[in-house]
Structure 1
Amino acid sequence: MNEREHRAFKEELFGQFARIGRALANPHRLELLDLLAQGERTVEELAREAGMSVANTSRHLQELRSARLVEVRREGLYGYYRLADERVFGVWRAIRELGEARLAEIDWLVRTHLKDRESLEPVGAEELFERLRRKDVLVLDVRPEEEYRAGHIPGALSVPLERLEAYLAEIPKDQEIVAYCRGPYCVFADEAVALLRSRGYRARRLQEGLPDWRAAGMPVEG
């Protein structure tokens, strides 16, 4: 390979890698990846969760699909989108962690909008796993039910946040509760813990979410 061929090879190679960078360089597409990490969804479901129009959501999904970051499964009239494989979540998680480490604006946003999180006594994945083995904790999955069905922590009860208050009579007060949701920036678990504590329960939140639990090699049912 001469110098000209070598240069052409390098430019084409890095151009292919840049396809992934371009697909990720949009906040809406990053949010869609975060949602798809919970399980496969239709365009309509993703649009509702992300607060976008169906047409705009579909356009962003096509960009992600063009970069081979998502796939679609057809069933009747519907297409169900999912992450292409677990490495896609790994890339999003790496971006998230790098942003937390290098961008002070992210820390400011979290502290401004997610106040008093440390008072909720976050539980790490390893600690929760050990406590599940000892059977001395009750775990609540406060995500939407379809996300619970797609995958959940073994033994966790599905109690979507909007139904939690009506379910309180079924929750024993003599056992500590850990609530979890989608990820570190999801507020469902924060709100669940705040409600439980206001009613006299001992409650904490899982520090991260189900995709991070899975990525750590922890068992998942569903």
Structure 2
Amino acid sequence: MPINPKQMIYANLAEVAQALGHAHRLELLEQIAQGPRSVEELAVLAELTVANASRHLQVLRRARLVETDKQGKRVFYRLAGECEVIAMLKALGRVAERNVAEVREVIDDYFGARDELDAISREALLTRLEEGGVTLLDVRPEHEFALGHLPGAINVPLTELEQRFDELPQDLEIVAYCRGPYCVMSFDAVAALRARGYRIRRLEDGFPEWKAAGLSVETRH
């Protein structure tokens, strides 16, 4: 019986879709999108055992969503086709926001309560940066900031924000960002700083989307 090319393509698409069909694997992809991570690091960040994290990562690897690099005895995971994987996750989020009532309720009740203003787009932020007078605030943990960040950004992790308010300018607009569109850290940072009189807005996406768009990034080693 001849091979049906359409069925072959759909079978492989189904494997990719199946790999995405678990909340832990989506969270692992979000973490890997910040930069290469070891299994041990990913297990801690996703609050999984190393064995469980490894099983999920193998599913993602078989679907060719992640690749590995070996450094000594440690194995590091990175996105395979970074731009495409990040775009796929963003598209998945848009479909869920439109079609799934529970997702819309979370967006409205949780995120909307913390930031009633529209987020700033990448295009608008680029214009504001060219004009000057805006401060970029990265509220991710320091080790993620070191892997890559928007050029000129100040790193104040959300857990340290209350102790470091004096490091942020009150006379300039601040744009905060974190891991991605559903990362709560930037929403919480906006709420905390706006309550103290800062002029602050949130970037509509996070660092991975900025990098995937081919825009300039900085690293700190």
Relative to the length of structure 1, the TM-score reads 0.89
Partner of 2:46: 50
Larger Rg computed on CA atoms: 1
Shift of 1:138: 0.6
Q: Aligned to 1:18, what secondary structure does the other structure show?
A: helix
Deviation sequence 1:184-212 (CA, Å, 0-9, x none): 11111111122222333221211221122
Partner of 1:84: 80
Q: Structure 2, unaligned stretches of length 5 or more?
A: none
- The aligned runs of 1:57-96 (5 Å cut-off) are 57-86=53-82, 87-96=84-93
- The aligned runs of 1:194-205 (5 Å cut-off) are 194-205=191-202
Q: Aligned partners of 1:47 and 1:192: how far apart in 2?
A: 25
Question: Is 2:18 the counterpart of 1:15?
Answer: no
Q: 1:110 aligns with which of 107, 112, 128?
A: 107
Question: Is 2:125 the counterpart of 1:128?
Answer: yes
Answer yes or no: is the 8 Å Cα contact 1:120–1:190 preserved in 2.
no
Q: Aligned partners of 1:104 and 1:66: how far apart in 2?
A: 31
Partner of 1:150: 147
Question: Is 2:33 the counterpart of 1:37?
Answer: yes
| Identical columns (%) | 48
Q: Aligned to 2:35, what secondary structure does the other structure show?
A: coil
Q: 1:214 aligns with which of 207, 211, 214?
A: 211
Partner of 1:27: 23
Q: Structure 1, unaligned stretches of length 5 or more?
A: none
Residue identity in the other structure for 2:48: M
Answer yes or no: is the 8 Å Cα contact 2:31–2:42 preserved in 1.
yes
Change (3 A) 1:11 1:170: closer
Q: Aligned to 1:119, what secondary structure does the other structure show?
A: coil
Residue identity in the other structure for 2:172: Q
Q: Aligned to 2:137, what secondary structure does the other structure show?
A: strand
Shift of 1:96: 1.4
Greater shift in the superposed pair: 164-173 or 201-210: 164-173
Shift of 1:101: 2.1
Partner of 1:191: 188
Answer yes or no: is the 8 Å Cα contact 1:120–1:193 preserved in 2.
no
Residue identity in the other structure for 1:75: Q
Aligned residues: 218
Shift of 1:11: 3.8
Question: Please, what is the CA RMSD of the aligned residues?
Answer: 1.8
Change (3 A) 1:52 1:120: farther
Change (3 A) 1:11 1:174: closer
Answer yes or no: is the 8 Å Cα contact 1:71–1:82 preserved in 2.
yes
Residue identity in the other structure for 1:37: A
Answer yes or no: is the 8 Å Cα contact 1:138–1:177 preserved in 2.
yes
Shift of 1:121: 4.4
Deviation sequence 1:13-56 (CA, Å, 0-9, x none): 43233221221222211121122111111112212222222111
Q: Aligned partners of 1:98 and 1:54: how far apart in 2?
A: 31
Residue identity in the other structure for 1:194: A
Q: Aligned partners of 1:102 and 1:59: how far apart in 2?
A: 30
Relative to the length of structure 2, the TM-score reads 0.90
Shift of 1:144: 1.2
Q: Aligned partners of 1:165 and 1:100: how far apart in 2?
A: 32
